[in-house]
Amino acid sequence: MNLRKLLWAFLYTFLILDAVLLFQWFEVSQPLTNPGSNRSVQQEMKMDGIEYGKLNNRPVSGAYLSGDDDKNSGIVRKKLSGRCDINQSGNSLVMTPKTTMNLGKSRQDAIHNAQKMLADSKQVVSGQDYLYDAFLTQYGTGGRTTSSESENKSSNGYTIVFSQKAESLSGTPLFSTQRGRIQVNLDRDFNVKNYTQTHISNVEKLRDISTLITEQDAVVNAYQYNAIPNNSRIMACRLSYRLMTVVRGDTIFSPVWSIVIKDNAGDTSIISINAINGTLIH
């Protein structure tokens, strides 16, 4: 690589980092209050009727990541065309089995057999890059749902979600984005109607690994942002990587704490806290 190309490569990298930092600056909707004693804040939460289990205060680490939408749809078509009808919508491939594919007689059977399906390269390309995502399978991808809509179940069947692993980091965290996911859609008899697949390639860290806020910090911050209603219950928390922005074709992902809240009407919602700076993500 000659000097001119090298200088342009460095400039491009700095532009991406500057864009990430600028986005983070504008993302802050209000100054993050100093949590002080998390214990006293948790006492306030209990006084407000907010129920929760043990909140992990173990240190965790992470970084901003970048990645590209995988364009290798031709490879998938070549390997699976004999088994599936394949359609493409943007970067998402939709595979519909040509013959009936039953995954069992219960949800647990279906999850187990779907995991076996992903391990078979004749049925799913790059299936080893994904893990079963119990969080998204049970609670969905966000928004607000009624109690009857939980566990990704509807009158039309079930959905099982597998999320792509963020391989460049330790601890095998998952991406929580439509850009890196396999979604298996079943009818009420646990037959595969179709499955969709997207894949993120060229995953890289944009900055050195740094210490993130803990699960306990994330819940305390969410409460201080008035994002947790009184008389509600915290059902689950998880750390994953979510789409933050796209810079000149490079997709930037941020570590995010997702917190599932069930209100006193039985409806659930998912709120998100940036795991690097502790701010509420709208």
* Mean pLDDT over the full length of the chain: 84
Lowest-confidence segment of 42-46, 153-157, 253-257, 259-263 by average pLDDT = 153-157
Given a cut of 90, is residue 128 above it in pLDDT?
Answer: yes
Higher pLDDT, 17 or 121: 121
CATH 3.30.310.160-classified regions of the chain: 72-202
Q: Tell me: pLDDT of 4 over 60.
A: no
pLDDT digits (tens, 9 = 90+) for 185-237: 999 999 999 999 999 999 998 888 889 999 999 999 999 999 999 999 999 99
In angstroms, the CA 13 to CA 247 distance is: 11
pLDDT score of 12: 56
Query: What is the rounded CA–CA span in Å between residue 174 and residue 242?
Result: 9
Percent of the chain with pLDDT over 90: 57
- Would you state the pLDDT for residue 105? 95
Q: How is residue 118 written in tokens?
A: 């992903």
Report the pLDDT value the prediction gives residue 208, as an integer from 0 to 100.
80
276-282 mean pLDDT: 92
Nearest to 98 by CA among 193, 18, 218: 193
| Residue 56 pLDDT class (50, 70, 90 cuts) | very high
Residue intervals of the chain classified under CATH 2.40.128.690 are 18-64+206-281
Is it true that domain 72-202 has CATH number 3.90.550.10?
Answer: no
Residues paired with residue 10 on neighbouring β-strands, in sequence order: none
* Class level of CATH domain 18-64+206-281: mainly beta
Residues 86-113: what's their mean pLDDT? Answer: 93
Question: Which stretch, 142-146, 208-212, 237-241, has highest mean pLDDT?
Answer: 237-241
Give the CA distances from residue 271 to residues 225, 274, 279, 282, in Å, rounded to whole numbers and listed in that order: 11, 10, 11, 8
Q: What is the distance between the alpha carbons of residues 36 and 40, in angstroms, rounded to a whole number?
A: 8
Q: Which band of pLDDT confidence, cut at 50, 70 and 90, is reported for residue 257?
A: very high
| Higher pLDDT among residues 173 and 79, named by residue | 173
Q: Residue 216 in contact with residue 56, Cβ under 8 Å?
A: yes
Query: What is the pLDDT confidence band of residue 156, given thresholds at 50, 70 and 90?
Result: confident
Averaged pLDDT for residues 54-72: 89
Q: Return the pLDDT at 134.
A: 96
Determine the Cα–Cα distance for residues 115 and 88; give it in Å rounded to an integer.
23
**What pLDDT is attached to residue 168?**
58
232: nearest Cα among 219, 221, 213: 219
